[in-house]
Amino acid sequence: MLPFRLVYHEDYDLNLGHHVFPSEKFRLIRERLLAERFAAPEDFVKPEPAPDEDLMLVHDRGWVQRMKTGTLSYEEVLQLEIPYSPEMVRAFWLAAGGTTLAAHLALENGVSYNVGGGFHHAYPDHGEGFCAINDIGVAIRRLQQEQKIVRAMVVDCDNHHGNGTAAIFAGDPTVFTLSIHQYNNYPAFKPPSSVDVHLADGVGDDEYLERLGAAYRFPIHGFRPELVVYVAGADPYREDQLGGLDLTLEGLMRRDLLVIETALREGAAVVVVLAGGYAINLQDTITIHSNTAKAAKQALDTIGWKN
Ligand SMILES: [Zn+2]
């Protein structure tokens, strides 16, 4: 049996207090997976904060410095939509280190799961929508720099368009970005991904899975990425407060299996990152993210990995 490693740090918590983004979800997911004996404590690997040099493979030096030194402008904090704190900064540096570590583990073991990350709304020179540092971009750029991979594909299934990621990799023939999202929702400005699937409000399981499969299977086969970054947002769920799609818990798990099994069949490793999730009942968000870990392990056991 292939090892299934999860990446987690207790300081992933963004320290947001009472906020629609439940930043305690990272800890709760770990606790759920342990309580259900899906994972043992030794399955979790602890990341270091990403070095500033890694962040600057994606982000402007000025943005990194203003984040570190607490010198963001009032407008920059407003656009971020989360309060500034040193704990928040550390959490974003750890998330980027965590996704990078999980990507390395995925290349070794086929699949790995960061119990965090997926901050797809962060642009090179600013943050927005609860995202300050784009861990997806940082991990891909770092692995390319190390020559561990040539091509990567981002499969962004969060309810919201992956605007920051699309902007980072615009015009880059080595990174294919796919975003499937509710069209009539944040962000208003959606810079084009390689493929964008704009969904109407209220789309349910069957239409979602059909359109995801159609947008994904052919491109991954042609593009032949070594790594797929699966942005496994929990917010397409029908009871999400910030989402307007109508997926069920079962539909979301079918989505997970579709993305991960297809990638493994095509010979691509998969790193899972979490992104959003704002269910009315927080326990549903924990269930959706925990189910993604289970789907990942199931896919790995079913399809296997070449290494
Ligand atoms: Zn979202």
DSSP letter string, 59-81: S-HHHHHHHHHT---HHHHHHHT
Ligand 1 centre to CA of 68 (Å) is 25
The whole-number pLDDT of residue 24 equals 92
Q: Among 74, 72, 100, 85, which residue's Cα sits nearest to residue 13?
A: 85
Ligand 1 centre to CA of 233 (Å) is 6
Please state, in angstroms and rounded to a whole number, the distance separating the CA atoms of residues 244 and 186. 11
The whole-number pLDDT of residue 81 equals 94
Q: Alpha carbon 153 to chain centroid distance?
A: 12
Going residue by residue through the chain, which has 307 residues, state the pLDDT in tens, using 9 for 90 and above.
778 999 999 999 988 888 898 989 999 999 999 999 999 999 999 999 999 999 999 999 999 999 999 999 999 999 999 999 999 999 999 999 999 999 999 999 999 999 999 999 999 999 999 999 999 999 999 999 999 999 999 999 999 999 999 999 999 999 999 999 999 999 999 999 999 999 999 999 999 999 999 999 999 999 999 999 999 999 999 999 999 999 999 999 999 999 999 999 999 999 999 999 999 999 999 999 999 999 999 999 999 998 6
> What element of type H or E holds 181?
strand 175-182
Ligand 1 centre to CA of 24 (Å) is 16
Ligand 1 centre to CA of 55 (Å) is 22
The whole-number pLDDT of residue 15 equals 82
Ligand 1 centre to CA of 278 (Å) is 8
Ligand 1 centre to CA of 307 (Å) is 33
Compute the C-alpha angle 54/152/53, nearest 5°.
Answer: 5
pTM: 0.98
Ligand 1 centre to CA of 111 (Å) is 23
Phi-psi region of 171 (alpha: psi -120 to 50; beta: other; left: phi over 0): left
Ligand 1 centre to CA of 275 (Å) is 6
CA distances from 209 to 34, 107, 251 (A): 30, 26, 8
The whole-number pLDDT of residue 307 equals 62
Burial group, residue 245, by CB count within 10 angstroms (0-12, 13-18, 19+): buried
